[in-house]
A and B are shown apart, each in its own frame.
Chain A
Amino acid sequence: MRILKIHPEKCTGCLRCELACSYVQTGQYQPAKSVIRVSPFEGHTSYAPYTCTQCAEGWCMTACPVGAITISAVGAKDVLDDRCVGCKLCTIACPYGTMFYDPSTRKAFKCNLCGGTPACADACPTAAITYEEAETADWLGDFARERTARVLAEAR
Chain B
Amino acid sequence: MARRHLIIGGGTAGMNAIRTIREEEAERSTITLVSAEKPYSRMVLPYYLDRSIAESHVYTATARVLADWGVTTHVGKRAAALDTQKNLCTLDDGATVEYDDCLIATGSSAVRAPVPGAEGPGVHSFWTLDQARGVLAAIQPGCHVVMVGAGFIAFTILNSILALGAKLTIVEVAPRILPRMIDDAGARLVQTWLEDHGVAVRTGAKLVRIDEAKGRRRLKMAAGGDLAADVVIMATGIRTNLGWLKDSAIKVNQGIVVDDHLRSSVPNVYAAGDIAEGRDMISGTNAVHAIEPTAQEHGRVVGANMAGKNVRYRGSLIINIVEVCHLDVASFGAWDDAKAETMSGVKADRPAYRKLLWRGDRLTGAIILGPSSDIWTTNDVGMLKGLVQSGVALGRWKAHLKKNPFDIKPAFIAMKATSSLLPETILGRPSKAPGESPVAV
Interface residues of A (CB under 8 A from B): 32, 37, 39, 41, 48, 50, 53, 55-58, 61-71, 80, 82-83, 85-89, 91-101, 103, 106, 136-138, 140-142, 144-145, 147-148, 151-152, 154-156
Contact = CB atoms under 8 A, between A and B. Distances in A.
A82 B52 CA distance: 11
Q: Is the interface of A mostly helix, strand, loop or mixed?
A: loop
A44 to B, nearest CB: 13
A98 B419 CA distance: 15
A91 B43 contact: no
Contact of A156 (B44, B332, B380, B399): B399
Given A93-B385, A97-B383, A99-B378, A106 B292 contact: no
Interface residues of B, number: 70
Contacts of B300: 62
Contacts of A136: 422
B412 interface: yes
B249 to A, nearest CB: 33
A96 B431 contact: no
Which 6 A-B residue pairs are closest in the complex by CB-CB distance? A95-B386, A97-B382, A141-B416, A67-B434, A97-B383, A155-B400
18 contacts: A55-B421, A56-B431, A58-B431, A87-B44, A87-B46, A87-B47, A88-B323, A91-B381, A92-B320, A92-B332, A97-B382, A97-B383, A98-B382, A100-B375, A140-B418, A145-B416, A155-B400, A156-B396
B373 interface: yes
Contact of B418 (A48, A53, A67, A70): A53
Contact of B385 (A32, A56, A94, A145): A94
A37 B379 CA distance: 10
Interface of B: 12, 41-44, 46-47, 52-53, 57-58, 60, 292-293, 296-297, 300, 319-321, 323, 326, 328, 330, 332, 372-373, 375, 378-383, 385-386, 389-390, 396-397, 399-400, 402-403, 408-410, 412-419, 421-422, 424-426, 429-435, 437, 439, 441
Contacts of A32: 375
A64 B43 CA distance: 9
